[in-house]
Structure 1
Amino acid sequence: MPTQNFSYTFTTSKPRDEVFNLLINPKQWWMGLHDEIITGKSEQPNDVFIFDAGNGVHHTEQKMIEAIPDQKITWEVTDSNLTFADKSDEWTGTRIGFDISKEDHNTKVVFTHDGLTPEFECYDGCSSAWTQYLEKLEKELN
């Protein structure tokens, strides 16, 4: 049985270009729940941004590896320090991204954290946090 990566899907009536332009800047959607600080850039290939949350509990660095306008965004986690996990670098080497497509008269958004699997110590807490951010994003887009 294949390993299941964390994924979250929703649709919005907003056009794909508007959705893409929002998603490519994590400061617009990965904020507002856990005292986040995001620094750096996230829009062009090789851009790097740093995400810190929970007053030092979560620190990750992401590098843009793919950006196809109105279709796909992928960042690779190049460094991680999750102080609440025994293996604090568990996210390093995983990929975070969005696939954006047209579905009927709507825009379908599929978020995947490739490599965040149930085998990870942080899976329950991290998938719960992702769900909070993505539900917030979904509400903002609908």
Structure 2
Amino acid sequence: MRVEEAPEGTYSSRIHIQAPVDQVFALLTTLEGIQAWWKGSVSGDPAELGELRFGIHDSDDYTRIEVTARVFPTDVAWSVLEDSGYGGEWLNTSMAFHLQEELDASTLLSLHHQGLTPLLDCYADCASGWDQHLQDIKQAAESASG
């Protein structure tokens, strides 16, 4: 699912990053790249159909995802297989990242988290968390290219 097709009421956000699209793509598709912006632990296989385990900072909670799509350099999709936080509210949700190269060689990164809606107890915390992760991706990409 492309980010532009996000159903109303689900978490969606965009951020402009002053870095090349391939560099931003690497932050979503390599273990080292994800570790540069995710504040908890990350382990696993970031290849398509691989599984990643995201530890939550200062908590025993974790989320296990499957990389369901990885199309260089425009799209990355993850599907949640297991989630221990907030009573497992992320279970059966999915994230779609879409990268668009701009004319000035910068990147517009869009994120849509299908299933993350205001009806969930975690929505405010999770939306705020994604907002921060997007800022961290921007910072990691821009500091690497600057």
Normalising by the smaller structure, the TM-score range is 0.7 to 0.9
Pairing partner for 1:40 from 44, 50, 65? 44
Whether the aligned pair in 2 keeps the contact of 1:23 and 1:29 (CA below 8 Å) is no
Name the counterpart of 2:62: 59
Pairing partner for 1:30 from 28, 34, 38? 38
- Show the 5 A alignment for 1:1-142: 3-25=8-30, 26-31=34-39, 36-42=40-46, 44-53=47-56, 54-56=58-60, 58-82=61-85, 85=86, 88-105=87-104, 106-142=106-142
Cα distance in structure 1, aligned partners of 2:136 and 2:18: 16
Whether the aligned pair in 1 keeps the contact of 2:51 and 2:66 (CA below 8 Å) is yes
Q: How many residues align?
A: 131
Write the deviation string for residues 11-57 of structure 1: whole angstroms up to 9, x where unpaired: 123111111112213222212xxxx1211111x2210011111321x
What CA RMSD, in Å, does the superposition of the two structures yield over aligned residues? 1.5
Whether the aligned pair in 1 keeps the contact of 2:17 and 2:107 (CA below 8 Å) is yes
Q: TM-score, normalised by structure 1?
A: 0.84
Cα distance in structure 1, aligned partners of 2:88 and 2:65: 13
Q: Name the SS for the 1:137 alignment partner.
A: helix
Q: TM-score, normalised by structure 2?
A: 0.82
Cα distance in structure 1, aligned partners of 2:139 and 2:19: 12
Deviant stretches of 4+, over 2 Å: 139-142
| Percent identical residues | 25
Which protein is richer in helix relative to its size?
2
